[in-house]
Structure 1
Amino acid sequence: MDIIRLEEKCRLLRRKNNMVPPPTMGGESSSTDSPVSPSVSELRLVLLGRTEAGRSAAGNTILGREEFGTQASASAEPQRSRRREGDACGRRLLLVNTPDWFSPGLSLEEIRPDVGLCVQLSAPGPHAFLMVIPVEPLKGEERGMLERMGEMFGEGYWGHTVILFTHADSRKEQSIEKYLLAGSQELRQLVEKCGNRYHVLNIKDWAHDTQVLELLDQVEKMVSGNIESFYSSQIFEESEAQVREMQGKIQREREERKQREERETRERHGKEMQDSLKKMEGVIQEYDRDIKTLGEQTTELEIQVKKERDEDNKRDLERELKRLSDQMEEVRRNQEKCIEKLKN
């Protein structure tokens, strides 16, 4: 489309929009289930992508004013999904800016509550997801994006997604095809998964009306070709049900593993206890043998003491008898302690 014609179309649409009262905040069109067309006053868009992708700056560019902070400020990056509304090129826009759901090590369970919040903020559902990717050498994270989006939203997500390539240099606009050809296989697969729908956005050029107009035209064209005009909560709930089923399976497997480990621990402790009991019983039996031996020696000495007539020898025998008696008493005490320990 010729640039002059695009600019003229945008001016006409803005003039028309200024003549029509904006819809009520939070209200929904009475025909939300029908395909979106230029006559529908609201488009609901969700911004997705890494922290460095220019997600917030893309939202500001689309709205034509700063609503989500600047990319230069790390504190401006949302920790939870945030919604902003505004007008652009004759449309009422509702934009939801999401946190970085693609950070390495971030589990699906950790982001699940905010994914639900994102869908609530764009209720009854977003017309389009804008997957924001910077026009610069990537770090091999596209495969992670493919997997994460499929896990969160299911296959129905791809029919409602447009890749939004962001940059801050007008020279990059003419090299996007070369960028895709030179990019990774995962990047090309990501674009193909989205039906080869992509748009290039200069996040430094807020006055460039045609780039926003072309993006919104592409979104409306996509939506009009979908059976479902927007990504509905029902689709999300189906995806949620699959995730809950998977999480339930994981939880059951964890519980089974825990029970198995506890059973193995009990069996191991039981075996250790049995070995310990056998050892203690062996010690008690050894005490029995010692007591029996000492008893026999004591009895023999008592007989010798009675027969001995020499006083000196008799005193020596009595001392030895006393020593054996004390030793036997000590063995009995040790045996009693061992028996008590065995009972406990």
Structure 2
Amino acid sequence: MGGRSIDVELELPSSNAARTMVLVGRTGNGKSATGNSILGKKAFNSRRSSSTVTTTTELKTATLEDGQQINVIDTPGLFDNSAKSDFIGKEIVQCIKLAKDGIDAVLVVLSTKTRLSEEEESAIRSLETLFGSKIFDYMIIVFTGGDELEENDSTLEDYLGRDCPEPLKEILGLCGNRCVLFDNKTKDESKRVEQVQRLLSLVNLVTAQNGGRPYTDEIFAEVKKEAMKLRDQQEEVASLEGYSKRDISHLNEQMQLAHDLQLKRITEMVNFHLHFVCI
């Protein structure tokens, strides 16, 4: 068998700590639809299309019945062959900016309706190049197309056991065989909740295995440092006395420009790394 789903109990996370998940994958695999299923509402634009529907990285949130906050970050088609490195770099920095406290899980969205492409395999490998091999400790594979498998009286285990290509086997192995099947077309609310609970149980497993620490690295540290610096400067300016509103507005504009220049520098650093990776 190419990979196996992990047997986890269907339970909501016991901790009320917010969980931040990032959706990555190729256009058409159902990233935005998966995000909507997780959140239980139509938060992201989603429709069947050969072109990218999500055009920029977005963060949407929902609160579960137990009070836990779920943060889902949807990214544009970073795995698409047409995506340019400067665009990818900008969106990665935006993603990090939104996930300011780190990422609890990276959800790699693949479709059971198509084979793993060379572009997808290369893109997943590029994440290792950019963020280090530890990023795989936070990865979960979300297979979409559960509706079609069900129509064919098939399961995810059947799908992974039928001539599973070697690259997919390797990716699943790197991710600790953490995977889950989603039917984003279901109208059955209990079924939607069940598959989301299974995913959240895997997220909790990832969190436990990583000592409760979200994923961060030097790029996160750089972006967070700049955000905190800007916030502190803005608070300092707000407390100034004897300055006109116009002067304070001008100071804020100057600080924002300096902040944007620093983010541009960080983006260029990301692009430099991506330049040596085929995406």
User: 5 Å matches for 1:280-291?
Assistant: none
Given that 2:182 and 2:195 are in contact with CA atoms closer than 8 Å, whether structure 1 keeps it comes out as: yes
> Secondary structure at the residue paired with 1:52?
coil
Q: Whole-Å Cα distance in 2 between the matches of residues 233 and 202 of structure 1?
A: 33
Shift of 1:77: 1.7
Q: Match of 1:51?
A: 27
Match 1:180 to one of 129, 152, 160: 160
Given that 1:68 and 1:76 are in contact with CA atoms closer than 8 Å, whether structure 2 keeps it comes out as: no
Structure 1 pair 45–139 and aligned structure 2 pair: CA distance change class (3 A)? closer
> Secondary structure at the residue paired with 1:51?
coil
> Secondary structure at the residue paired with 1:53?
coil
Whether 2:136 is the aligned partner of 1:158: answer yes
Q: Whole-Å Cα distance in 1 between the matches of residues 18 and 94 of structure 2?
A: 20
Q: Whole-Å Cα distance in 2 between the matches of residues 180 and 130 of structure 1?
A: 18
Q: Whole-Å Cα distance in 1 between the matches of residues 17 and 270 of structure 2?
A: 38
Q: Whole-Å Cα distance in 2 between the matches of residues 162 and 230 of structure 1?
A: 14
Q: Match of 2:172?
A: 191
Shift of 1:102: 1.3
Question: 104-113 or 198-207: which moved more?
Answer: 104-113
Match 1:210 to one of 191, 194, 203: 194
Q: Match of 2:48?
A: 72
Shift of 1:190: 0.8
Shift of 1:227: 3.7
Residues 111-136 of structure 1: per-residue CA shift (max 9 Å, x gap): 11110100111111111110000112
Q: Whole-Å Cα distance in 2 between the matches of residues 39 and 139 of structure 1?
A: 35
Q: Match of 2:113?
A: 136
Structure 1 pair 75–88 and aligned structure 2 pair: CA distance change class (3 A)? farther
Q: Match of 2:6?
A: none
User: 5 Å matches for 1:88-127?
Assistant: 88=64, 90=66, 91-127=68-104
Match 1:85 to one of 44, 61, 78: 61
Q: Could you tell me which amino acid in structure 2 is paired with residue 180 of structure 1?
A: L
Q: Whole-Å Cα distance in 1 between the matches of residues 116 and 51 of structure 2?
A: 23
> Secondary structure at the residue paired with 1:86?
strand
Shift of 1:144: 1.5
The runs of 5 or more residues in structure 2 that have no matched partner are 1-8, 223-264
Given that 2:57 and 2:73 are in contact with CA atoms closer than 8 Å, whether structure 1 keeps it comes out as: yes
Shift of 1:204: 1.2
Shift of 1:41: 3.5
> Secondary structure at the residue paired with 2:28?
helix
Larger radius of gyration: 1
Q: Whole-Å Cα distance in 2 between the matches of residues 222 and 51 of structure 1?
A: 26
Structure 1 pair 171–229 and aligned structure 2 pair: CA distance change class (3 A)? farther
Residues 179-221 of structure 1: per-residue CA shift (max 9 Å, x gap): 2232211111111111111111111125121111111011101
Of Structure 1 and Structure 2, the greater helix share is in: 1
Shift of 1:105: 4.4
User: 5 Å matches for 1:193-342?
Assistant: 193-205=174-186, 207=189, 208=191, 209-227=193-211, 229-234=213-218, 236=220, 244=269, 247=272
Shift of 1:233: 4.4
Q: Whole-Å Cα distance in 1 between the matches of residues 152 and 217 of structure 2?
A: 37
Q: Whole-Å Cα distance in 1 between the matches of residues 20 and 48 of structure 2?
A: 26
> Secondary structure at the residue paired with 2:155?
helix
TM-score with structure 1 setting the length = 0.56
Given that 1:62 and 1:88 are in contact with CA atoms closer than 8 Å, whether structure 2 keeps it comes out as: no
Question: 130-139 or 77-86: which moved more?
Answer: 130-139
Structure 1 pair 217–228 and aligned structure 2 pair: CA distance change class (3 A)? closer
Q: Whole-Å Cα distance in 1 between the matches of residues 97 and 62 of structure 2?
A: 18
Shift of 1:139: 5.1
> Secondary structure at the residue paired with 1:102?
coil
User: Could you tell me the percent identity over the aligned residues?
Assistant: 25
Given that 2:110 and 2:116 are in contact with CA atoms closer than 8 Å, whether structure 1 keeps it comes out as: no
TM-score with structure 2 setting the length = 0.68
